[in-house]
Amino acid sequence: MIETPYLLFLGDAPDTLSGKVAQGIKDWRPENCVGQYRMEGCKADMKLPDMSLTEAKAAGAKTLVIGVANRGGKISQTWKKVLVGALEEGFDLASGLHNLLCNEPDLVAVAQATGRSLHDVRVPEVAYPIASGEKRTGRRVLAVGTDCSIGKMYTALALDAAMREKGMKATFRATGQTGILITGDGVPLDAVIADFMAGSIEWLTPDNEADHWDIIEGQGSLFHASFSGVSLALVHGGQPDALILCHEPTRTHMRGLPGYALPSLEEVRDLSLQLARVVNPDCRAVGVSINTQHMGEEEAARYCEKVEARLGLPTVDPFRHGAGRLADALAAF
């Protein structure tokens, strides 16, 4: 178990989006966040108290969580002094990066010397099966998007909260590092061997009651040249009954791919349904989630209205406006 509360480490993150792990924990488990640690040049800010290691320890923090999601998921050498200092100060370390803490000899040596723990969230702990494609009982909804890092996890978590408020049976199923750090359980999908990715999602979303919904956290995008593989594994392994389309309208290109424009919501809807219907012929799109964080209130409302009129689906920013209408669409499924 990863001990709480946390000190969120933002390192030298170049922008807020790079600190999305810390942002997710802060937004969905604020009670677990004592403060943030930022190095010189850090441009991410979770609006938490800036603390030194000593100050955070005195405030009760038990684990330093690496809240940065950089390209390639690497532990930067410039962070090492802080990470070593955290272990010596009495903190455990937790990370969801591909570059594992347990593969860093200097960190392992200090952790052993100080009796502290290293928690690597992105390490599969189950021998996942190969996908069978067999139909399972219960219902499943999956968030699919025009790009990566646009709010698919936020959509799923907001939907989970809204469905519970309405008395619906629902379970959020984490498939990435931040979701696992928030909920304490899930599948680190992008660390699963390719042949077993779809099977891991079948394992994650087993047979259930007929009126129970598994809310599957989306990853990547079917249109993203770097991360389409995890997206397809979610579609085929999840066998979704319903899709929520996710979009961030201020993007000028795919994240990390300046030469690639974002697809339209219609293109995402059509391709996602075509692929989902391979394993579930009855799958359909039921709503749209718009990430309006870079828009004013009126602009956000107008944009959602236009998309809703265009696609004929309930359209909201679930973090800003709540996911009640998306939950209603599933209740009427």
Query: Could you report the per-residue pLDDT of 205-239, keeping only the tens digit for each?
Result: 999 999 999 999 999 999 999 999 999 999 999 99
**What percentage of the chain carries pLDDT values higher than 90?**
89
Instruction: Say whether pLDDT at 184 is over 90.
Output: no
Would you state the pLDDT for residue 218? 98
- Displacement of CA 254 from its chain's centroid (Å): 17
What number is the average pLDDT over the span 62-78?
85
Is pLDDT at 165 greater than 80 in this prediction? yes
Task: Report how far apart, in Å, the C-alpha atoms of 253 and of each of 73, 149, 167, 290 are.
Answer: 21, 12, 39, 16
Cα dist from 307 to 44, 75, 300, whole Å? 30, 40, 11
First to last CA, the chain: 37
71 pLDDT band, cuts 50/70/90, is low
How far is the C-alpha of 70 from the C-alpha of 68, rounded, in Å?
Answer: 6
pTM: 0.88
Q: Are strands 63-66 and 33-38 parallel, antiparallel or unpaired?
A: unpaired
pLDDT, residue 18, reads: 85
Q: Which of 64-78, 185-199, 220-234, 314-328 has the lowest mean pLDDT?
A: 64-78
